[in-house]
Amino acid sequence: MSQDQAEAHFRIPQAESQGQGPQAPAGAEAHQPPEDRRPVKMGRAILLLAVAAAAVAYSGISGRHHDDEKLKQWTEQQAVPPVAVVEPKLGGEARELVLPGNVDAFYSASIHGQVKGYVSEWRKDIGATVKQGDVLAVVDTPELDQSIAAAQSEVAKAQANLSFAKVTASRWNSLRNTAAVSQQAADEKDADARARAADLDAAQSNVDRLKAEKAFANIVAPFDGVVTARNVDVGSLVRADGASTAPLFTVADVHQMRIYVPVPETYAASLKDGTKATLEVPEYTDRTFDATVETTSRAIDPKSRTLLVELLADNKDGLLHPGAFTRVHFKIPPDPNTFTIPASAMLYRDAEPRVAVVGPDNHIVLKDVRIIRDLGTSVEIASGLGQDARIVANPPDSIGDGEEVRVMEAAGEKTQGPNAEQRADGAKTHPDEMAQTGRDHKE
């Protein structure tokens, strides 16, 4: 094809696209056959294919560059360790302290024998409700009875001696007026009469003493309560030296119960007079009993390092028994001057407790703290933290001061891997590339 013919072929389509009709070439070009136009159409197709291939290639290259940048960014993010943070709770929450305790009667008296003898009868058995002054048992005292009789005889003898001394003194005083006797003799008779009067008083006092001992032959209840022990029977020997023998009866006042609890020294300052508590006893698993702190011993036992706390509990229905075991639930109010954090946030290095705090620039700052109380899953901190501090919830042992970290939004946050992210981005941003690749495989 000559150069003029090629120019004619290219001018015809251009004229058609501008709205001009086809113009017949001059001379021999008007009679050009259709076969001579095929190379022009093939050139157009090749040109269009080249442009499309370039566009697809550019799109693929730019997409891969974008993916590489995201992969690089994701890799850099993963190089910074993620951490979950917690904030300290000011004062924490009200806690429940559960400790073992012993139930005791409000009053408890062990009644011993005061006179020697034998039990002639007992009138109250264990579990009996008694009033003050009720007779529990009667003791037969034959020896004491003989002593009382002898003392009464001494009183009669003293009375007779006193009467004779008075008469004698009166007579001698009469003779003194007649100068028949000396003043010395009359004074001696007066003194003898006064001595006989003193002997009578002593004899009478001895009788009163023995009768007072006789009153102890009746074993009586010292106050209202319940008989919790009886260690005698009819015919039992009762000795007067009660300190070395078992008590005859034990009476307990159970209208209120005293509960004694040894409290660890750590919680001694938290239990004040009037603190409320609840009791659990093995006999009644379906109910609790209210109690109130009455007082404390105000002293720490050096052996157990505990403070003895006394509580009072009403026992109008009589369900609580002396000597029972109980679990005491104390309501410990929160300390407004402390912070509570999880125990897993603690670090122990060089025997000093520390926590890892995330600073404003997401760098770790190791701070020394002072632990007031270890609650198991949490600890109370007295100083070293602020309320707005971001504390690493579970720091690794390798964490260091100044290390950069990535704060997770939540404790259960999960990060996706690069492959999954790339697949999602590729499916959304490069459909043409995937379609073209599929066509290439088909061809």
The torsion angles phi and psi of 120, rounded to 5 degrees, stand at -90, -30
**What length is written for the chain?**
443
Per-residue pLDDT tens digits for 370-401: 888 787 888 888 776 777 888 888 888 888 88
pLDDT of residue 430: 42
Closest by CA position to 128, among listed 257, 252, 247? 252
Q: What is the pLDDT of residue 73?
A: 66
Considering the chain, tell me which residue range(s) the CATH 2.40.420.20 domain(s) occupy. 85-93+337-407
Residues 185-217 as b or e (16 or more Cβ within 10 Å = b): ebeebbebbeebeebbeebbebbeebeebbebb
On whether the pTM is more than 0.75, the answer is no
Coil, strand or helix: which one is 321? coil
Beta bridge pairs of residue 237: 118
Listed in order, the ranges of the chain carrying CATH 1.10.287 are: 142-216
Widest Cα–Cα separation across the chain: 213
Q: Which CATH class is domain 142-216?
A: mainly alpha
DSSP 264-286: EGGGGGG--TT-EEEEEETTEEE
φ/ψ of residue 283, rounded to 5:
-70, -30
Distance of CA 140 to the CA centre of its chain: 58
Give bridge partners of residue 365 from the DSSP assignment.
357
Confidence of residue 29 (pLDDT cuts 50, 70, 90): very low
- Of the ranges 71-85, 204-218, 240-254, the best mean pLDDT one: 204-218
Residues 6+ apart with CB under 8 A from 299: 307, 308
What residues are paired with 370 via a beta bridge?
A: 383
203: Cα separation from own chain's centroid: 68
Token match 């260091």: residue? 400
Please state which architecture CATH assigns to domain 85-93+337-407: Beta Barrel (2.40)
Query: Residue 333 has what DSSP assignment?
Result: P
pLDDT, tens only, 342-372: 888 888 877 788 888 888 888 888 888 888 8
| Residue 405 CA from chain centroid, whole number | 35
**Which residues make Cβ contacts (< 8 Å) with residue 352, sequence separation at least 6?**
368
Residue 429 above 60 pLDDT?
A: no
Contact by Cβ (8 Å): 364, 347: no
Strands 276-281 and 325-332: antiparallel
Provide the terminal-to-terminal Cα distance of the chain, rounded to the nearest Å.
33
- Burial level of 309, CB count in 10 A (0-12/13-18/19+)? buried
Q: How many angstroms separate the Cα of 193 from the Cα of each of 157, 160, 169, 181, 204? A: 14, 11, 7, 17, 17
Angle at 99 between CA 98 and CA 105, to 5 degrees: 120
pLDDT band for position 102 (50/70/90)?
Answer: very high
Taking the C-alpha atoms of residue 357 and residue 389, their distance in angstroms, rounded to an integer, is 7
Q: pLDDT band at residue 196, thresholds of 50, 70 and 90?
A: confident
Could you report the per-residue pLDDT of 402-428, keeping only the tens digit for each? 888 888 864 444 443 344 444 444 444
How high does pLDDT run on average in the chain?
79
Q: Rounded mean pLDDT of 37-49?
A: 69
pLDDT tens by residue, 237-279: 888 876 667 899 999 999 999 999 999 998 888 888 999 999 9
* Cα distance between residue 10 and residue 363, in whole Å: 70
Looking at this protein, which amino acid is placed at residue 326?
T
Span 108-133, mean pLDDT? 92
Torsion of CA 378, 381, 386, 388, to 10 degrees: 10
The string over 102-119, giving b where at least 16 C-beta atoms fall within 10 Å of a residue's C-beta and e elsewhere, is ebbbbbbbebbbbbbbeb
CA 292, distance to chain mean position in Å, is 17
CA 313 distance to own-chain centroid: 21
